Chains A and B, each alone.
Chain A
Amino acid sequence: MYLRPDQRPPRNRLALRIAVAGGLAVALFGVLSFRLWNLQILDGKKYLAEAKNNRTREFKVIAPRGDILDREGDVVVDNRTSLALQLNMQKLPQDPAAERAELARLGALAHMSLRKVRKAIREQEEVALGAPVTLRRDVGHYLVYYLEENQRRFPGVSVQRVFVRHYREGTFGAHFLGSVGEISEEELKMPRYRRLEPGDEVGKAGLEYTYDRYLRGNPGLTRIQVNALGQPTPGGQLLATPPTPGDNLKLTIDPAVQTAGEAALAGKGLPGGFITMNVHSGQILGLGSFPTFEPSVFTHPMTQKQVDYYFRDESAPLTDRATEGLYPTGSTFKIITALAALENKVITPSTPINDPGQLIVGGEHFHNAEGAAYGTLTLVPALEVSDDVFFYTLGLDMWDTNDLQEWAHKLGIGRPTGIDVPVGTDGLLPTKHWRDQLFKEEETDRPWSAGDNIQLATGQGDLQTNPLQMAVAYAALGNGGKIVTPHLGMEVQDAAGRVLREIDPPARRRIHIDPGWRATILEGLHLAAQGPSGTSHVVFDSFPIPVAGKTGTAERGLGHADQSWYAILAPYPNPRIVTVVTIEEGGFGAESAAPAAREILEAVFHDQLAAAASESEGEVGSG
């Protein structure tokens, strides 16, 4: 090739090759420059827009739920923030050994065994496959810092700041406040949850459910500058639509009445329920059930023991006995019997009925309680002493009409009340039609008989109702015929306390009650509570405010003690308040339910009682 290898080759041949190399270089640099010019100068704006669009992500900012306040404006339920340890199952290591190791490390940090971690994952995946699994709520800050520093060792693990409902200490309002939870697949399809997304929290029960659309609020949107992994960059918040917190809900609940009612029930230590309501407006001042629970229990992970107690125990602590109980009412039902008899001209207030101690119908004996015999009575004394034979007789007189059932129905027994918490059942008002139908279907051994109506006339037998329905019925008597809509919500307020909406549901219906009959029955009730031979005389004789109350003692079958009832209207003769208390196995009405009712009324009329007390003290002083 070249003559002498270590000397310069012939210039002309080399020159050509150098020229070609140089030319190639010029061409290559030309291509690069041309492309660069194209990208940066000609198309620069397009790419700039793309780059700007590239780096932002939108994040939903959860809106805090509105507070629930009592009638005084004090907080019953608000929110606290909690740090939740979450696992994104898709981002865990694929290798089973590595996954196992990570879960074990994580478990050690969260004070959970590997078995427990796996169980939590399994349980939550059953509910929502693919959603992040919450291992533990309320983790400490130290754990957050540790995880952030060791992120590489814990792929798929994150700590989320979540809002958790925070309740007033104790059991206050446990049964009606309700609970919140993540929206379910079925709920997402419902029109009432239009525009919600998976993962959003909604009210699941109680007031949280009913007033969800006010309490819920609207999530905000934050546009955050992110890196290629979608992680927010420091200081990169670009634009935000702040979340709209949910509106506050002010309740009709009077904290003193509620507390007194819960304490009265707890004091008896037996299952039962109470309700205190304004007879004109249907505003519920207190509503409770026993056994009860602390609502905050459900915001923490529960132990198996707790789960067993709350969901499987016979005492059913989650059931609201005041609104969902199914009980015969005993003699508290007698006002309905009396009203039906008067309105249907079966008796007048002065019609005497003889009580020899028992009523024999078709060979069946219906006794007075404890074998008493009161002789000849009219309605008012019959109510005062709660004479059973008197009302047996009325039941017998109306047994083949539908008069008693009609009036019970008018007063709301066995019907929806319209209360603003979800109620599972409306109870049962036994009628001729109902039993005959059952008999036809061979589900019962006999058709409707006089005995059935005699039982109903004194609130025994097949009747199934609850304090809520009885309170509505008594309220109608008290207010002269208005069937109110019982409600717990009073106002929807914004965060600043401005009233956005008043909750004042209209009366469900009006029935005509003759004022004379009403006065007669109330007089009977007044004597029953405060007359010398009244059934609850021992409890209410010393009560400074005139009241009209009726005891009830419902038979619950063999092996069960009687159920104690008390329904009371106060003050007499123009009642403003109705209180109904029932206590399972509480014995005679005057034994347990009436004293509980008195405790509640003492809270309702606290101011008046205090004034009366100081007045009488003053009298003593001057005398």
Chain B
Amino acid sequence: MMYATRTRNARPEPFAVHVGIAERLGLAHMDWPLALSAVGLVAFSILTLGQATLHDVPGDPHYYVDRQAIYGALGLVGMLLATRIDYSRFRELRVGIYTFLCVSIGLVFVFGFAARGSRRAFELPFFSFQPSELGKLLLVLALAGFVIDGARRGSAVQRTVRYLCLGLAPAALVFLQPDLGTSLVFVVATLAVMYFGGVRWTHFAVIGGALAAIIALVLVVAPAMGFPILHGYQEQRLTSFLHPSEDARGAGYQQHQGVTAVGAGGLTGRGDRATQTRLDFVPERSTDFIFAVIGERYGFVGAALVLSLYALLFWRALRIVTLSKNSYGILVAGGIAVSVLFQVFVNVGMNLGIMPITGIPLPLVSYGGSSVLATFLAVGVLQSINIQAHHSQRGRFAW
């Protein structure tokens, strides 16, 4: 047996003799490696932005780094607050959360501001708020609630279809913004929650088959029939990574420059001589292609460090899945863990030229308030699950 059972102490200790600072702040039993990996990643992000974006905004060399630092600080506070909230409350609020999720994404169509042909965010005084970023967390919280709530209603197939519909509805909204990358994250988060919710393997096999068919339809059949579903640029981005050198100046250009940047970094990086990412060859270097910046500036050492921090984060998140006191916690932690893993893999893979360009940010490292805040909140929820597990279980088991 992997998980050793241990005696439960039924009696709580209302008055601890020595109350530590962490205890007083309600932060006792926080998962410190998880917190440190998150803080480490955002710190690395600030370091990178600070050195690599000095000339991006004329007259304001610290534009990105200042803002990212503020977002990081806000995120940290958000994480601590989320840590103190009993995550089970989210299960009760699942309908409200889900409604808020769909409405906020929907409102973007009405009030959002358009950037590069896509409406994704609200323009607020200090930053533009992108509901779909927070939506990744909200979807997991709500969907996990629905899964737990409806675990005994209907047949297995009905349940699977219901979860899929609940998850794919906001995904479809995001897709229409259009924001292909985030909608993919929504799909993956949905599947992850279902996965940890115990949906049968056979169902996943069918879903997988259906996905393959859809991809074939979207990329091959529909354009051939004259009904393109994806925008031209989206399709180019999705397929150009398959043959990058064929079109080094067109759609594959950005990716080729990104790969060149990472490769040029070598073992220890080029520091300030990093021309690829310093001289605008690599696009979106504060957001989507920040990993290429890290790769070129800090080399294999820096890039591997970032990957290690993500591995640490994922390991701790998965560990929290095993610790959760209830199924809701399992589904939430699992959904968060897998969706972060998915984002990291797709983004880094995109930077390394093995995944298509989908516009998915690198969690905590890419510049952007919505993404940083949402990811910190998700980490906070994970912490909450961890702390609740301790409160209910009094002790821990090794994994």
Contacts and interface: CB of A to CB of B under 8 A. Distances in A.
A6 B328 contact: yes
B324 interface: yes
A24 B341 CA distance: 10
Contacts of B303: 36, 40
A227 B264 CA distance: 16
A37 B301 CA distance: 10
A229 B315 CA distance: 42
Interface stretch (A9-17, A295-303, A359-367, A418-426): A9-17
Given A2-B198, A13-B198, A29-B311, A36 B324 contact: no
A127 interface: no
Contact of A46 (B148, B263, B267): B263
Interface string A1-42: 110011111010111011001101100110111011101110
A21 B198 CA distance: 13
A55 B281 contact: yes
Contacts of A227: 279-281
A608 interface: no
The interface centre, meaning the residue of A1, A11, A41 with most chain B CB atoms within 10 A of its CB, is A1
Contacts of A44: 263-267
Given A5-B148, A48-B266, A36 B321 contact: no
Contacts of A48: 263-264, 266, 270
Interface in B312-349: 314-315, 318, 321-322, 324-328, 330, 334, 337-338, 341, 345, 348-349
B102 interface: no
A226 interface: yes
Contacts of B152: 1, 5
B350 to A, nearest CB: 11
A17 B194 CA distance: 11
A5 B331 CA distance: 11
Contact of A39 (B148, B275, B276, B352): B352
Nearest to A51: B264
Interface residues of A, number: 45
The interface centre, meaning the residue of A21, A40, A48 with most chain B CB atoms within 10 A of its CB, is A40
A36 B304 contact: yes
B311 to A, nearest CB: 5
B307 interface: yes
Given A11-B3, A36-B300, A51 B276 contact: yes
A435 to B, nearest CB: 71
B299 interface: yes
A47 interface: yes
Contacts of A194: none
Contacts of B279: 55, 225-228, 233
B184 to A, nearest CB: 15
B113 interface: no
A50 interface: yes
Interface of B: 1-3, 148-149, 151-152, 156, 159, 195-198, 257, 259-267, 270, 275-276, 279-283, 295-296, 299-300, 303-304, 307, 310-311, 314-315, 318, 321-322, 324-328, 330, 334, 337-338, 341, 345, 348-349, 352-354
Given A1-B159, A14-B196, A32-B345, 7 more contacts: A1-B197, A11-B2, A21-B338, A22-B315, A25-B311, A39-B352, A227-B281
